[in-house]
Amino acid sequence: MTILWITPGFAGHEQDYSCIPVLQLLARSLQKMGVKLHILTVEYPSTAQRYTWNGIPVYPCNGRNRRWRKPYTWWLAQKIGQKILQTEQIDVLHSFWLGRAFDTGETLAKPSGLLHTTTLMGQDVLPDNQHRLNKLNTIKTQQLIAVSQYQAAVFQKSTGMSCGNVIPWGLALEEISDLSNTQRPIHVLGVGSLIPVKNWEKWLEVIRILRINTPAIRAELVGEGPLFDALQEKIKEWGLTENVRLLGALPRPEVLKKMQPARVLVHTSRYESYGFVFPEAAAAGCHIVGTPVGVATVFGATAETPEGLSEQVNLALQSRSVMQSPIPPNMDDTAAQYLKIWEIAVTQQKWQ
C-alpha cells in the first residue's frame, strides 16, 4: 500500500528528532509493515529540495510559516501533490491537522477520487478553527481520527458531531526505560514548548508551594520558546533560582534520558490533544501529575489549581518507588490501526 502524507512539517534530516516525533515514530512503524510513504510538507523544513528520510521521499514546500508566503505555498503544495499523484500509484491521502494540510488533501482528493483521511492533531478541534469545522459533515467526520478520547470530546463539543476513529499515539519499544533505577535526584520535571498554552507560570506556582515544606526541592524545565525570558524573570521574582533550572531545548533522545532521574513529571497545560509527554514520562518511571487534558488522567493524577497539583506532587514524592502506570501504547499497534482503516477504505473504493 502506498500513502501520501500531507503535513505542515516533518523531520528535515534523520537527526532532526524534535520535529513532530510522533510522525517520525509512526512512519518507521508503517515502514516495517511494508507501507510505502510519500510525505508532502507545507511549512517545514525550510528548503524546496526533495530529500529522503530513512528511505522515504519527502517533498517540502518551504512555507516557513510566513504569512506573506501562504498563497504561493498553498498553490505549490497542490502542484507538488498533483505531480506525485501522476507519477506514483497512491492508494490513500492522509493529512495531519485540520488546517492547510487538510485543505490540500481535500483539493487533491476531489479530482483523483482517492479517500482522504485526517488526524486531528491539536488545537484544530477548538472553536477558533470554526471556519473549517463548519465545513465538515457527518460523512467527512467518519474520515477523521482523534488521538484521544479527550480530544474527541472537545471535537464533539465544538461541532456537535463525532469523529469516526480514536487512535492513541504509541512509543517505540526501545523507548521503554529500565525502571530498576530508583536514584532520582530531580524532584519535578517539566517538558514542553515555552508558549502560553502550556501555562508554565502555573508550573512555577506549584514549585513555589512545594518549596514551603521542601526548601531543597529541585525542578528542571526542558523547552524553548518566546516565554523563556519571562519565566526566568518570574523565577527570580519568586526567589526560585536555587530550585528551578531552565534547560532550554534538548534533542528528544536527551529529553527521554532526562526523564529517568526525575521523580514526577508535572504538566500544567491549558489544552493538549494527547500530550505525548505523558506516556514518555510514564515509560521512564516518572509519576505523572497534570491538569486534566489529553491523556493525563490515563497516566497519572490531575488537578486544576496549583494547590491541588502540589498536593498530588507531594503524594508522589512520598512514594519511594517508580511509577507503576499503565503500559504506554506501542506505536506498532498505532500503525496497525491506521493501516486497517486505509485497507478498508481501499477495498470500499474498489467496490464502488
- Are 253 and 116 part of one and the same domain? no
Domain-located, residue 121: yes
Domain-located, residue 21: yes
**What per-residue confidence (pLDDT) applies to 352?**
45
Q: Specify the DSSP class assigned to residue 127.
A: G
Half-sphere exposure of 209 (CA within 13 A, CB side): 16
Distance separating alpha carbons of residues 281 and 258, to the nearest angstrom = 10
- Are 24 and 64 part of one and the same domain? yes
- Are 7 and 135 part of one and the same domain? yes
Q: Collapse the DSSP code of 33 into the 3-class scheme (helix H, G, I; strand E, B; otherwise coil) and give the result.
A: coil
**What per-residue confidence (pLDDT) applies to 178?**
63
- Are 35 and 104 part of one and the same domain? yes
Distance separating alpha carbons of residues 206 and 215, to the nearest angstrom = 13
Range of the domain at 141: 2-170+331-351
Distance separating alpha carbons of residues 42 and 336, to the nearest angstrom = 26
- First-last CA distance in the chain: 19
Closest listed residue to residue 186, CA positions, set 77, 281, 305, 299: 281
Domain-located, residue 252: yes
**CATH code for the domain of 182:** 3.40.50.2000
pTM for the predicted model, two decimal places: 0.92
Distance separating alpha carbons of residues 43 and 9, to the nearest angstrom = 6
Distance separating alpha carbons of residues 281 and 174, to the nearest angstrom = 14
**What per-residue confidence (pLDDT) applies to 325?**
65
- Are 187 and 49 part of one and the same domain? no
Distance of CA 319 to the CA centre of its chain: 29
Instruction: Please say whether the beta carbons of 334 and 168 come within 8 A.
Output: yes
- Are 149 and 189 part of one and the same domain? no
Distance separating alpha carbons of residues 114 and 145, to the nearest angstrom = 17
Give the total number of structural domains in the chain. 2
Distance separating alpha carbons of residues 39 and 24, to the nearest angstrom = 11
Torsion sign, CA atoms 40, 43, 48, 50: negative
User: Which residues of the chain are under the pLDDT cut of 70?
Assistant: 177-182, 321-325, 349-352
- Are 94 and 199 part of one and the same domain? no
- Are 32 and 123 part of one and the same domain? yes
- Judged on CB neighbours under 10 Å (0-12, 13-18, 19+), 57 is middle
Distance separating alpha carbons of residues 169 and 334, to the nearest angstrom = 6
- Are 164 and 266 part of one and the same domain? no
- Are 226 and 193 part of one and the same domain? yes
Say which residues have a Cβ less than 8 Å from residue 169's Cβ, sequence separation at least 6.
Answer: 22, 25, 26, 147, 274, 276, 279, 329, 331, 334
Domain-located, residue 326: no
**What per-residue confidence (pLDDT) applies to 259?**
93
Domain-located, residue 30: yes
- Are 119 and 226 part of one and the same domain? no
346 sits in which H/E element: helix 331-351
Domain-located, residue 325: no
**What per-residue confidence (pLDDT) applies to 180?**
60
Per-residue pLDDT reduced to its tens digit, 244-277: 999 999 999 999 999 999 999 999 999 999 999 9
- Are 217 and 235 part of one and the same domain? yes
Count of residues in the chain: 352
Domain-located, residue 324: no
Distance separating alpha carbons of residues 333 and 335, to the nearest angstrom = 5
Closest listed residue to residue 7, CA positions, set 131, 135, 115, 100: 100
